[in-house]
Amino acid sequence: VPVAVEGEDRALLLAALLDEALWTFESRGELAVGADVAVSEGRAQGELLVARGTAPAGPQIKAVTFHQLDVTERAGAWHATVYFDV
Amino acid sequence: MKTRKISDFLWEVPQGEVAGMRVPGRVFADETLLEKARADRALEQVANVATLPGIVKASFAMPDIHWGYGFPVGGVAATDVDAGGVVSPGGVGFDICCGVRLLRSELTADDVRGRLKELVAVLGRRIPRGVGTKGLLRLDREGLARVMRDGVYAPIADGIGWESDAERCEDQGRLEGAEPAAVSDRAYERGAPQCGSLGAGNHFLEVQVVDEIFDPPAAEAFEIRVDQVCVMIHSGSRGLGHQVCTDELKVFDRLMRREGISVPDRQLACGPVTAPEAERYLGAMTAAANFARANRHVLADGVRRCFAEVFRRDAASLGMRLVYDVAHNLAKLERHEVDGIGRTLCVHRKGATRAFGPGHPELADRYRATGQPVIIPGSMGSASFVLCGTEEGRDAAFGSTCHGAGRAMSRTQARKRMGGRELAAELERGGVLVDATQWGLLAEEAPYAYKDVAAVVDVCEGAGLSRKVARLRPLAVVKG
C-alpha cells in the first residue's frame, strides 16, 4: 500500500507511519507487517507491506500516542519509544 | 516527588518539583491512595500538567488518579482563557466524552433472579460490543453530522429513546458549539458505523441492584431506592473520538512550536484557547462529545428493548427512566471564581467527572435543589456508586470529582495473575454473572487490578468534592 506522511522530525514521522498502519487495518482490514520508506525533508514516502488477516491476539491498539515519543540514534543503532492507546 | 500534607484528604506537590511549574499540584487522597499515585509516577504527571500556560489555582488530581499518557487519568486542570490559557487535546484524551449512564427500573432483585441468565444472553446478543463492531444505528455522512450537532436530540427526533432522557444528561444531552465540519473524513468514516456500540477494553454494561442509600432525599429526587434493579452503561465516542484526538495532536504539536510553548511531554501539546486551531479543536471535540452522548443514548434504547423482550412488558411500564449521564473525558469553557474574580476557564477533566452542586445555574431545574447526580462505576464485580455534587466542591477543584476506581495494576500484571474464564467462574461463585467477547482479556479488568472504589468515594466525600447518595452491587456484567 503506498504511503506518504509528513512530520517535522523523525519521531513525528514514525508516529504518522504507525497511524497509517492502524488506519489501513481499520478501514481495509490489511495488517501492516513492515514498511519500506525513504525519509527526507520532513517527509516519509514509500510502501506499507501488508498481509490480509485478523489482528494478532492481545489488546487492540486504538491509537498512537505522543507520550514520551522518541526516536534517537545511539552507538550506530536507532532506538524508538512509542506508547499505544489500548 | 515531594508532597506536603494539607489536610487528611489533600496533599500538595510544591511548585518547583518539576521545572516550569506555574502552580502547585494538589492531590485529593488518603495516605494509601497517595502512595499508589506516587508508585506509578502519576504524581510526576500532576507536576508536569502544572507547567501549562495560563493554568490557575493548581493541577488537581482526584483520588482515583493513575498514570496516563502525558496527563494523569484523574486529572483536572483549568486555564484562564483571557490570560493566555491553553487547551490540550491530550488533556481530554483519546476517548472524548467517555462516560457513564445509569438507567433505573421498577424491578427488584427477586424479579430478575430467575431470568438473569436469559437477560444476559439477550443483552449479549443484541448489544453490539467488542473490537471494531458495527452499532445499532448506521449513519450516512449527513446523519452523523446531525448526531454530532444535536447529541441525543438526533436519535430522539427519529423516535429512538425518550424525550425525557435529554434533561437527565449532563449538558441536557447536547453540548453547544459543535463543528461537525472540523471533523476529518477519517473520523467520519470510523464513526459512521459505530453509533450504538459499546466498544472493547474497560467498556461494559452492568445489571446492578441498589444495596444501600446514604442520602434519602437525594436518592428520592434521583428516583432510586434499595433493592431496585438498575443498568449501568460505560462507553464513549468510539473510533471517532480517537481519530479526532489523533488528528489534533499533530496540529497542536505545530501550534505549540509556533507559539514558543514547551511542555515536559509531547502528549501535553497545547495552544492558546483563542488560537484558530484551538477553536477548531474545541468544535471537533464538542462534535465527538455529542456523538458519545448519542452513542450511550442509543445503547440505552437497546437495553430497554432487551428488558421488554425478557420481561414481556414495555420499558415505560418497567419504569426504565434515565438517572443521569455523565462524561469523564472532556474540556469545557466554564465560569468560575479565581481569587474572588469571575473568569472564563477552559476546564480539562480527564478521568474526572463534573460534579456541580445545588443551585448551579447550568443544571437542569430538576437537579437545582440536590446538585447533579454523578455516576461512579466500580471495577468489574465490585460496587458502583451514585454521588451528588456539592457547593463546596466548586471551590475545591472547579466542581469536579472522581470517575471510578482507578487502575492499580497494569493490564499485563492483571493477566498474569489469573485467566479470564477462571476469573469469570470466581465472580459467578460470588453471585455475579459475566459474559465477555474476549475471555483472554477479561482478567485485565479484574477487581484486583483496580483500587478500592469505596475508599475513592470516601475521600471525595471527606474532601467535600461530592456526597454519597447510593451504592449498587453488580448482578451481571456484559463486557465490551
Output the DSSP codes for B349-380.
EES-EE-B-TT-TTS-GGGTTT--EEEE--ST
Candidate from B70, B242, B411 with C-beta closest to A67: B70
Contact B287, B148 (CB under 8 A): yes
Cα B415 to its chain centre, rounded Å, is: 24
B442 compared with B280, residue with greater pLDDT: B280
Cα–Cα distance, B66 to B52 (Å, whole number): 19
Q: Is B134 on the interface with A (CB under 8 A)?
A: no
Cα–Cα distance, B117 to B4 (Å, whole number): 51
pLDDT band at A72 (very low <50, low <70, confident <90, very high): very high
Chain B positions touching A57 (Cβ under 8 A) are 440
E-strand stretches of B378-465:
384-389, 400-401, 433-435
**Mean of per-residue pLDDT scores for chain B:** 95
Taking an 8 Å cut-off on Cβ atoms, the answer to whether B94 and A85 are in contact is: yes
Neighbours of B163 (CB within 10 A): 10
* Residue written as grid cell 490557575: B56
User: What is the pLDDT averaged over residues B415-428?
Assistant: 89
Instruction: Give the tens place of pLDDT for each residue, B306-354.
Output: 999 999 999 999 999 999 999 999 999 999 999 999 999 999 999 999 9
Q: Given a cut of 70, is residue B285 above it in pLDDT?
A: yes
Contact B431, B475 (CB under 8 A): yes
Provide the number of CB pairs (under 8 Å) joining chain A to chain B: 68
Buried b (16+ CB within 10 A) or exposed e, B231-241: bbbbbbbbbbb
Chain B positions touching A59 (Cβ under 8 A) are 201, 411, 441, 444
Contact B118, B433 (CB under 8 A): no
pLDDT band at B99 (very low <50, low <70, confident <90, very high): very high
User: What is the pLDDT averaged over residues B192-204?
Assistant: 92
Closest CA relative to residue B350, chosen from B148, B88, B24: B88
Cα–Cα distance, B89 to B439 (Å, whole number): 32
Cα–Cα distance, B444 to B442 (Å, whole number): 5
- What are the φ/ψ torsions at residue A10 (nearest 5 degrees)? -65, -35
Candidate from A19, A27, A59 with C-beta closest to B246: A19
* pTM across the whole model: 0.96
Taking an 8 Å cut-off on Cβ atoms, the answer to whether A85 and B131 are in contact is: no
Q: Is B253 on the interface with A (CB under 8 A)?
A: yes
Q: Give, in degrees to the nearest 5, the angle at Cα B194 between A58 and B288.
A: 100
Using a CB cutoff of 8 Å and minimum separation of 24, what contacts does B2-9 make?
B3/B27, B3/B34, B3/B38, B3/B43, B7/B463, B8/B462, B9/B63, B9/B459, B9/B462, B9/B463
- Calculate the CA dihedral of residues B421, B424, B430, B432 and round it to 10 degrees: -150
Chain A positions touching B190 (Cβ under 8 A) are 26-27
Q: Given a cut of 80, is residue A53 above it in pLDDT?
A: no
Q: Is B117 on the interface with A (CB under 8 A)?
A: no
Q: Given a cut of 70, is residue B132 above it in pLDDT?
A: no
Taking an 8 Å cut-off on Cβ atoms, the answer to whether A66 and B245 are in contact is: no
Instruction: Give the tens place of pLDDT for each residue, B78-98.
Output: 999 999 999 999 999 999 999
Taking an 8 Å cut-off on Cβ atoms, the answer to whether B201 and A62 are in contact is: yes
Q: Given a cut of 70, is residue B269 above it in pLDDT?
A: yes
User: What is the pLDDT averaged over residues B172-186?
Assistant: 97
* Sequence-distant (≥ 6) Cβ neighbours of residue B313 within 8 angstroms: none
B158 compared with A29, residue with greater pLDDT: B158
% of chain B at pLDDT higher than 70: 100
Cell of B123: 443483552
Instruction: Give the tens place of pLDDT for each residue, B216-252.
Output: 999 999 999 999 999 999 999 999 999 999 999 999 9
Q: Report pLDDT for B443.
A: 87
State which residue of chain B sits closest to A68, comparing Cα positions. Answer: B265
Cα–Cα distance, B226 to B471 (Å, whole number): 9
Cα–Cα distance, A56 to B23 (Å, whole number): 44
Cα–Cα distance, B205 to B200 (Å, whole number): 11
Cα–Cα distance, A3 to B187 (Å, whole number): 19
Taking an 8 Å cut-off on Cβ atoms, the answer to whether B69 and A59 are in contact is: no
Taking an 8 Å cut-off on Cβ atoms, the answer to whether B440 and A12 are in contact is: no
Candidate from B186, B189, B253 with C-beta closest to A66: B253
Find which of A20, A60, A65 to mutate to test the B interface (most B CBs within 10 Å of its CB).
Answer: A65
Q: Report pLDDT for B130.
A: 83
